[in-house]
Structure 1
Amino acid sequence: MRKLIAGGLVAATALVGASGALAQQKDEDFVKYRQGAFQTIAWHFGPLAGMAKGDIDFDAELAQRNAERLAQLASMPWEGFEGGPHDAGDGHTHAKEAIWEEMDKFEGGAEKFQQEVDKLAEVAQQGELGPLRQQVGAVGDTCKKCHDNFKED
């Protein structure tokens, strides 16, 4: 029983410490985090888009790997918007105020993105360009809709 209570106290202390660390994050940390997550997503989506457009040769293995990684990454950027809007301090944020004014719409777009990326990972497993091309387009559409509504040029 003492071990259980001691373990609970250790876990509670760690949780309180972690939440305190989150509270100390600065606005620019949120901006850097989400920009980094989006750059990583773009890194893995770029070759898929290139294959879909015919700009680079189709590589089934690369398509599968990148689509799987996108599915893993798709949930990451959104926590970088929590508690915002955030001031990057150097003007390097393109996030519109509309994100926080229309959070339900923004979160709906994030969910749609995750769904389409998950489908992309499934389609990529087929190893065929035709279905991949179509699903890359569906993912790209989710990106465009979000950018049109929530990202400054």
Structure 2
Amino acid sequence: MGLTVRSCCYFPGSWKRLNAQGGSTVEECGEMENRKYTRVASRMRCWCKADEVTLYARVGNVSEGGLFMRTSTPLQTGARAAVRLGSGEKGEAEFQAMAKVVWARQNGQSRPPGMGLQFDALDDTAREQLRRIISHDMAASAGA
């Protein structure tokens, strides 16, 4: 299953529909989208390394299947990359995986520029580590 652009995203407490600019929430969604994994809005930092390029940017949303990385210089669709996620705080856990760029959006389009990255198959240990990082990020966002 590929990561696709959708208009709903989970924010702590409820599902919201995003406006065309991709930033502010404008209404509650009636039902969750048909996805294998729940997307969660995030502001985690992400390092993405492919060939001779290393990107460092914020995550727009993340799930157990992949993430949206906000960047004005997305990699090309189909590119393979090593991804590292974490809060960036000293002593905090990090998650690392290989991923594939499944879509890219350039500056000037109707939504924020960036790329959708789909994680390669995760073993149980990696999946649990990712779940802990997502839970920590959600708790930090709710307390902010």
TM-score bracket, shorter-length normalisation: under 0.3
Structure 2 length-normalised TM:
0.27
Larger Rg: 1
Using CA pairs under 8 Å that are at least 6 residues apart, name the structure with larger relative contact order, 1 or 2. 1
Per residue, is there more helix in 1 or in 2? 1
Structure 1 length-normalised TM:
0.26
Per residue, is there more strand in 1 or in 2? 2
